[in-house]
Structure 1
Amino acid sequence: MKSQLNLKKAIITALFVIIGTAVFAQTGKISGKVSDKKTGETLIGVTVKIKNTAKGMATDVDGKYSLTGLATGKYTLIFQYVGYNGKEISDVEVTSGKNTIFDIILDEAGGQNLNEVVIQGSFKKESVNALYAQQKNSAVISDGISSELIKRSPDKNTSDVLKRVSGATIQDNKFVVIRGLSDRYNTAMLDGASLPSTEPNRKAFSFDIVPSNLVDNLIISKTATPDLPGDFTGGAVQITTKDIPDQNYITLSGGVGYNTASTFKDFFSGSRNTTDYFGFDDGKRKLQPSFPSTSRLAAGLTYEQNIKAIRTLPQDWSIYNMTALPTQNYQFTLGRVKDLKDNKKFGAIVSLTYRNAQSITRDAVREFYEYNYIDNSYKFSTNVGALANFAYTYGKSKITFKNIYNRIFDDQYTNRTGTNGSSGTDNKFFAFDLIQKSLFKSTLEGNHQLGARNAKINWSVGFSNVLNDQPDQRKINYSKNISDLDKPEVAYTANVLNIGKENTRLFSTLKENGYTGSVNYSLPVNLFKETSTLKVGLASSYRDRNFDVRFLGLQLGFNNENVEAIRARPLKTLFGKDLIESGAYTLSEIPNSGDIYTANSLTNAGYAMLDNKFGDKARLVWGVRTEMFNVNLKTLDASNKPVKQDYFDVLPSLNFTYSLTEKINLRASYYRTLARPEFRELAPFQYYDYEQLAFQQGNPALKRAQINNADVRFELYPSAGQIISVSAFYKQFNNAIESLNEDYNSTRTITYFNSDKADVYGLEFEVRKSLDFIAENEFMKNTTAYANLALIKSKVTNPANTGVVYLEKSRQMVGQAPYTINAGLQHAFLDNKMNFNILYNKVGRRIIAAGGSRFPSIWEAPRNVLDLQLGMKVFKNKGEFKINAGDILNNNNILYYDNNMNKKYEMNGEDETINRYKLGSNYSLSFSYTL
């Protein structure tokens, strides 16, 4: 009886679902955003009605509206708002089961009772007007890309998207370079909050962690306003992820990729665990809890304790051979929106991503100083990520809770062969290196309208966690004298008689927590007979880092009778169980209390700004920001003086915009910004980077940099979605933070220093235009060409009286490229069911590290990068195939010493090659389907 009752309930429920689905399939909805024509500010409480019906609502705190349950057909919408001219828009078409997105702009009434005037227009014309306003209304000189343009590009993550933005290029497929300035002079913001550095040895954010299809919009602000953080000079990259979707959906996607240098080739690596494929080490590589502490090791272990401790270390030194599989990537995204009573709404977006790649860097050349090496590296990479965003709107308020998590697992095996002239040896070097990086960020934000004057208050609190774990980086070198190369009876022997940079096992863990909070208040005020906006705010950010590292190794006793025979053993048995159990090896540790550090910083900021309008054409956004910054860093070694810095900075800014016509803007700005040293740049921690054949070390004396900036820009908007612009800029640096190649020791050290003064000035050109001006036909109308070019000049005078006589007296600024080029061609055909996109990128040669007293600066040579994509929509536009080709030209990546100073790389000339390699071209096929 009970089972029959349950069956009836199930049948009734199923019928309701079927009926509900059928009803939804027969209806659609209209949604969009209402904004002020001159400022771009969204308008809260605008009345939106369907003409000749009782259906209507008011826009929420984001200026958004949503009219649901509409039958198929065309409607006329009426928009009314006190103080603004009303609009009546015809021909807004609704299609069954779909959401018609319609954004609109309203203009302020110019006199008494003009708010009662109703302007009539059409859906198509008003959509174009809204896009125009969005392009022109930025208060600052900025460039960006919307979610709609992202959909049409071949980009899988945010780093790829950034390549399309004027003046922005990407380094190492993840770090952004804006206006040719190195990534350390940029700041990254996600959903309104600053992002921490994801890298342990530099100030940089890895933009490849945010999937592109979850980005609502991406804007690079190249000039500052007081409500932006003060620590950027190249640009502030602001990423906004989606919260309330336009409609319910489930999207599934998957893809495979082929790399010409790697896929189906022999792939060598250390041991592999199943959990590696999910982005997590199984815990066996890290030091076990029972492992002796540093102090215990220093006090000395007994014979039995020594063997017991060594047993806990992984001893599988085998090199496994497999076949590199194609790149795999999968994504699941769920979007849900629920319209509630009284214009309340709840939305959620949840996404899971997975990527696995096995890449090979073959025959990388290193020919500099006394080195003549060839490297072969094999990297196994897994990337897993999750995003969960929730939003609730009620009345004139909105609460959002946004969360993102990303984890990167990179396990690399490197084999190096070649000679070292300084030691007179021929070498066979092996390195096993696992790095696990993760970022978690959570932000709770509220937006509320106060009173009836469109005053707004915004608040947010956030938490972030960064982890960088390097468990058991293992290195070992075999060598024999160069004079014995023609003597096969002389064996290569391993350097296990002592521990050093070539044969240590490194265990390091970096953990950092960040806490942020802010509150912003804006109030419309009447100045000069115009409505202006006063905005004030407070913000605070606290970061707390712990870094722990140990350098361990197994040392062979000199009194062992078979020392040379043991040293000649192959890598697989060099640390064999028989040797460990017999006590042949002693566990040793390099003292490093000066490398272990804790650090924290506190930034408190306040600002006030006015957004003034002067008539219909002029706009001035001006104000001041103050920032108090405190940093503390201390090492475990009490003899090292703690780092303590306190700064108070006043950062004024002014942005002026004059609209010559409806399609032309003139902009000018002045602003002051700064750049603060990162914890790693201040920490005295010294780390041997075997890939660079150099030490990495911080500088506790590093100061913060101050920069004065000025910009002018001309903007022409030929039609909606198109732009032609010309910009000029100047930047004056005091105490610029740069990387330095210290070379007075036998092994060079990459560190950081302040150059006294640096000047940077440049020009930017951008064009995005359809080709219908060539011929007025459908083909040219659907073809868009775009290009942006930046030409930059910089000059730095190396500091004097530092005890170092620099080889170069003046030079280009570190990281500053003299030019950047982005260009592309897009074409849509078959009623936008197919899209073709070809893209080109090139960055001028730039300095990676400033030269020292013996060698000139290290340069990165330019590369030509060509990408293309073909996209095809199927199954009534619910599915899409994409064929991508990346880095088709596969130019060499080159770092070198420009010894003859001729500003170009000569492979067989006087220049010395620090690194030259190719990564291969990438070809992929992906498919996505939206339910």
Structure 2
Amino acid sequence: MYQFVRFFLFIALVGISSSAFAQKGFLRGKITDGEFGEGLFGATIVQQGTTNGVTTDFNGEFSLTLPAGTYTIAVSYVSYRTQYFENVEIKAGEPTILNATLLPDVQELDAVEVVAERTRDNESSLLTIQKKSPNVMDAMSSQSFKKIGDSNLAGAIKRVTGVSVEGGRYVYVRGLGDRYTKTTLNEMDIPGLDPDRNTVQIDIFPTNTLENIMVFKTFTPNLSADFTGGMVNVETKAFPLEKATNISLGFSYTPGMNLSNDFLSYKGGKLDFLGIDDGTRALPFAANTTIPSEPQNDPRLEELTRKLNPEMAASRRMSFLNTSFAVNHGNQKNYEKYTIGYNAVLNYQTNFDYYDRAEYGFYLKNNNPETNELFKNEERIGQQSEASVLWSALFSGAIKFDNHSISTSLLHTQNGIEQTSKRVNQDFDQNVATLSEDILTYTQRSITNNILIGRHQFNKLNVEWRNSFTRSEIDDPDFRVTSISVGDGDTTLQGGKGAAINRFYRNLVEINESFKADFSLPYGESSKLMFGGLGSYKKRDFSVLNYNLRVTNPDRVSADANTFLQEDNIWTASEQQGTYLFGNFEPANTYTGAQNLFGAYVMTEMQVLPKLRAVYGLRAEQVTMFYTGQNNSGSIVYDNEKTLNELNLLPSANLVYNLTEKMNLRGSFNKTLARPSFKEKSVSQIYDPISKITFNGNIDLTQTYVNNFDMRWEYFLKGNQMVAISGFYKTFDGHIELVAFEVAPENVKPRNAGQSMVVGAEIELRKNLDFFGSFFENLAVGTNLTLVQSAVDLKSVNTGNGGETEYDLRARNLRAGEELKDTRPMAGQSPYLVNAYMNLQLPKQGTNINVSYNVQGPSLAVVGSGRLADVYTVPFHSLNLNASQTFGLRERSTLTFGIQNLLNDAREQVYKSYGASPAIYSSLQPGMQFSLKYAFAF
């Protein structure tokens, strides 16, 4: 009932409409407080020489109705400098956008005269927010998105200092891994399509629906404490300043991947085009069904076996072009006593990836310490295809009246991924076998999120509350893996050689409900007190069903995987020959996790000296986690066991010294933390049939505690130009890393890694080249460099083997002549990160050309153990080009051409060991992609 009321409110907000004003237009915009960087409540916007005007609401926004014509507009506020905007043109039925920043008028300076433009400039507003923010932060505006030409946030955010995008969708800040980067939507937690990650898949956010993104790099008590590298907040448009309808259609082509007859696939369901399995892959019987054993000679065994989908082999078909389609509509309606705003967005895209040579390897150090080269334990090489459908729908609406506003948004994202592989798996150690493998998988992921936001102004007290409900699901129906042993002219299913036929069914559902309230009260001169609280509840249900197919005569079988479940080859009780089903429900592959979190904070922002501002406070968070599950043997059973119960007090202090009006010097210290996920803090064992890696939970994992020190010098120039130099130092107690087993390298497990540290520096420059001449005034360059050094104290890392440390373990496996250091790099931490771009914008011609380059240094992906060497991610050099041209009536059409991965670089992870050549852990060649998109604005 509760969710129904919320949904009804949402429909009511976006469904209100009215007739347009016949011969009148609208002047709309936002007035920003130049002292705090926030919307200025109560500023006056007046038609010069008249009393016709309005005041801004508590967000600093306004809408003034005026007859068509040209005006001079005055923007004023008590004790602030008045600004005059001349030649402001109002057109009938259209909004004109005017944004301004007012500064304190301590010396009663003369008024500033500015000519208003019809295009919105949010970059200046965001720079003001950055300049006045208590946090070290970076941001991008909707105007920047338009300049760059990226269609989704994954492409655009790579321009932000210290930010990289992993796998085309996950945000890393300052090179720190996913665990230390948090992504929020409208300041509220939202799990991604992979709930085991802290960050959201940001490619689901189209840039034309966003107001801005802000990347917070230092903590203040009003932010959630479980981030360290940074927090990325994605803000959607609730009150569009003008009516806008946009539609776009795009295609991209990668040679060898698209329009290829070699693309691997298999027959799916009728709703695969929507990323939804229609039941074709569903388990054909109840999960708790008991499967009779073959010696029982039970006819039900035949019946259950015949219910399975018989297709087991990968087949070939032609892949189409990658496609994308988007449409969005938004508007604002002004009434006498209230204002309505709404947005509706739909995005749909398909993608085809084909790798003619996908390579995975497992290598070990040689038993002889005199031999440096790694021993090839196992190798998998073959073809791999992935067909992906991703669509999202976002509806948002808001209403403002008096000093109050209520807004809501409803987001649903659906992702379906069909992955098919045909490869050869060779074992060079234990059974010295060669396997021919067909792997057919399908993953269905979805997120449904509803956020309700209220903002209220009671005299000087500002109140804001937010409620968010999210349901996230990952469903892996019917993973099919066929491994047939081939050698000496024979094909067998002998288990001793690793041959097998497996079917997997996995499902994960997570519910997340959270509520937060924030209060702000100004006091004294240029100071304010802030306090608030947060409550959230998360619950996750996870299950895995594992079945095998066996044959009565495994010594000689067909090499064609499709033959096993052909009608004539299925086991019968009368003949007792053929293929039959084996396996039952296993409680060890099922778990339930829950988390309760309650937080409260108090902080103050005060002017200590005329040029020195102090922001300090304390956040308290109480978290409890519960786990239900058991290990494989059943010797350890947990029934709603409380696995985590912590009260954390997290202080924060930030100082901002205004060297000049445009220059700041910042310093901060704060404490944050990182918590293990449900999967990590468990006894579960989760097998990935593609990589053949088994993830093992660790019920003894503890939280990671982090001390953060930051300094930053920043100089803000006109427009979107700036120079900044930052330094940071972080210490970690209990850093969580993924480690492979010494004797079983295909098994990995998370563990706390003792004491660690990170020290780094950032340099950022954004500058127009107008000093070279008039032509270069349209040419802008930007670059940012992040340098990081990290270290883990090996003697503080307990391996869990009788008190043995990682230092001891590595010492036992040294190569001849190798020296062992006391430290190594942190897992997931890159030593450097480079982002650079050059942008040419010719407004009169409607042309924009952007060239960007991104690279992230080698990072430790999997920590070695014993004979297993460390695995590092090889730097991927990404050079991309985007060129757009606006044309047509009123320049409403835009054609964008792009080339991705101009350097044709490969994505690789390799083993690294003393004196040895790098050995492939995984290798994929994404190729060079060409794209073309057409967009039309109504």
Same fold by TM-score greater than 0.5 = yes
Other-structure match for 2:561: 571
> 1:752/1:636 Cα in 2 relative to 1: closer, same or farther (>3 Å)?
closer
Contact 2:85–2:116, Cα closer than 8 Å, also in 1: no
Which whole-Å CA distance do the structure 1 matches of 2:131 and 2:875 have between them? Answer: 34
For 2:881, the aligned partner's letter is L
Contact 1:169 1:178 in 2 (8 A): yes
Which residue number corresponds to residue 766 of structure 1? 764
Compared with structure 1, are the counterparts of its residues 413 and 59 closer, same or farther at alpha carbon in structure 2 (3 Å cutoff)?
same
1:465 matched to 2:460: no
Q: Deviations over 1:573-626 (max 9, x none)?
A: 122111226353332116631220011001100000111124552221111111
Matched-pair contact (CA < 8 Å) for 1:595–1:684 = no
**1:695-734 alignment to 2 at 5 Å?**
695-734=694-733
Q: Once structures 1 and 2 are overlaid, which stretch shifts more, 849-858 or 804-813? A: 804-813
Is the CA contact 1:739–1:850 (under 8 Å) kept in the aligned structure 2?
yes
TM-aligned CA distance change 1:683 to 1:202, over 3 Å: farther
Please tell me the residue identity of whatever aligns with 1:376: Q
Task: Note closer, same or farther for the CA distance 1:615–1:129 as it changes in structure 2 (3 Å cut).
Answer: farther
Which position in structure 2 is the counterpart of 1:632? 626
Tell me what 1:429 maps to.
437
What is the deviation of 1:54?
Answer: 4.0
Matched, 1:872 2:891: no
Counterparts of 1:251-650 in structure 2 under 5 Å?
A: 251-265=246-260, 266-288=262-284, 290-291=285-286, 293=288, 303-342=298-337, 344-369=338-363, 370-422=377-429, 423-451=431-459, 453=460, 455-481=461-487, 484=488, 490-494=489-493, 502-526=500-524, 530-557=525-552, 563-565=554-556, 567-580=557-570, 582=572, 584-589=578-583, 592-614=586-608, 616-635=610-629, 639-641=636-638, 642=641, 644-650=643-649
The one-character-per-residue Cα deviations of 1:183-208 (angstroms, maximum 9, x if unpaired) are 11111110110122432554442211
* Distance in 1 of aligned mates of 2:263 and 2:434: 25
Per the alignment, residue 370 of structure 2 pairs with none
Instruction: Summarize the Cα distance change of 1:88–1:320 in structure 2 as closer, same or farther, 3 Å threshold.
Output: same
Per the alignment, residue 809 of structure 2 pairs with 806
**Aligned: 1:185 with 2:175:** no
| Residue matched to 1:842 | 855
Distance 1:781 1:250 in 2: 31
Farther off after superposition, 371-380 or 730-739: 371-380
Asked whether 1:852 is paired with 2:855, we answer: no
Asked if structure 2 preserves the Cα contact closer than 8 Å seen for 1:44 and 1:449, the reply is: no
Q: CA deviation at 1:270?
A: 1.2
Q: Which segment drifts farther, 876-885 or 197-206?
A: 197-206
Following superposition, the deviation at residue 98 of structure 1 comes to: 4.0
Q: Give the direction of change, closer, same or farther, for the CA distance of 1:857–1:499 in structure 2 (3 Å limit).
A: closer
CA deviation after TM superposition for structure 1 residue 790, in Å: 0.3
Indicate if the aligned counterparts of 1:546 and 1:597 stay in contact, CA closer than 8 A: yes
CA contact (8 A) 2:607 2:614 kept: yes
Residue identity in the other structure for 1:674: L
Residues 669-678 or 85-94, more deviating: 85-94
Q: Secondary structure at the match of 1:196?
A: coil
Which is worse superposed, 814-823 or 245-254? 245-254
The counterpart of 1:121, out of the listed 107, 113, 135, is 113
Whole-Å Cα distance in 1 between the matches of residues 92 and 739 of structure 2?
63
Deviation, structure 1 residue 69: 4.1
Counterpart residue identity of residue 284, structure 1: T
CA contact (8 A) 2:435 2:499 kept: no
Aligned match of 2:655: 656
- Checking the alignment, whether the CA contact within 8 Å between 2:484 and 2:499 is kept in structure 1 is no
Map 1:14-93 → 2, pairs under 5 A: 27-73=24-70, 75-93=71-89
Which residue pairs with 1:11 in the alignment?
none
Q: 1:130 to 1:322 in 2, by over 3 A?
A: closer
Deviation of 1:291 (Å) = 3.3
Give how far 1:132 is off: 5.1
Question: 1:306 Cα shift?
Answer: 1.3
Q: Distance in 1 between matches of 2:842 and 2:733?
A: 52
Over the aligned positions, Cα root-mean-square deviation in angstroms equals 2.5
**Separation in structure 2 between the aligned mates of residue 421 and residue 132 of structure 1, nearest angstrom:** 59
User: CA separation of 1:162/1:301 partners in 2, compared to 1, >3 Å: closer, same or farther?
Assistant: farther
* Within-5 A mapping of 1:900-911: 900=914, 910-911=917-918
Q: CA deviation at 1:355?
A: 0.5
- Deviation, 1:154, is 3.0
Unaligned runs of 5+ in 2: 1-16, 364-376, 811-819
Tell me: CA distance 1:94–1:738, structure 2 relative to 1, closer, same or farther (3 Å). Answer: same
Normalization by structure 1: what TM-score?
0.90
Report deviation, 1:131.
6.2
* Residues in 2 aligned to 1:715 and 1:255: alpha-carbon distance in whole angstroms: 39
Q: CA deviation at 1:628?
A: 0.5
User: CA-to-partner distance for each residue in 1:357-398, whole Å, 9 max, x for gaps?
Assistant: 111022123344222331311111001110000000111111
**Count of matched residue pairs:** 877
Cα deviation per residue 1:69-106 (whole Å; 9 max; x = unaligned)?
43132x22223434544444333333455432221222
State the SS of the aligned residue for 1:680. Answer: coil
When residues 129 and 414 of structure 1 are mapped into structure 2, their CA distance, relative to the original with a 3 A threshold, is closer
Note closer, same or farther for the CA distance 1:129–1:418 as it changes in structure 2 (3 Å cut): closer
Name the CA shift for 1:501/1:640 in 2 (closer, same or farther; >3 Å).
Answer: farther
Given that 2:269 and 2:279 are in contact with CA atoms closer than 8 Å, whether structure 1 keeps it comes out as no
| CA shift digits 1:133-174 (9 cap, x unpaired) | 234122210111001101111322222222111000011111
Task: Report how far residue 853 of structure 1 moved.
Answer: 1.1
Which whole-Å CA distance do the structure 1 matches of 2:922 and 2:643 have between them? 37
Q: Tell whether the 8 Å contact from 1:494 to 1:568 is kept in structure 2 after alignment.
A: no
1:570 to partner: Cα distance: 1.5
Match for residue 782 of structure 1 among 778, 792, 799? 778
Worse overlay, 691-700 or 380-389? 691-700
Quote the offset at 1:828 in angstroms: 0.8
Q: Which amino acid aligns with 1:571?
A: A
Shift in Å, 1:462: 1.1
Contact 1:200 1:680 in 2 (8 A): no
Give the corresponding residue for 2:3: none
Letter in 2 for 1:575: L
CA offsets 1:382-428 (integer angstroms, 9 cap, x no match): 01110000000111111000111111100000111142112211221
2-structure distance, mates of 1:96, 1:829: 28
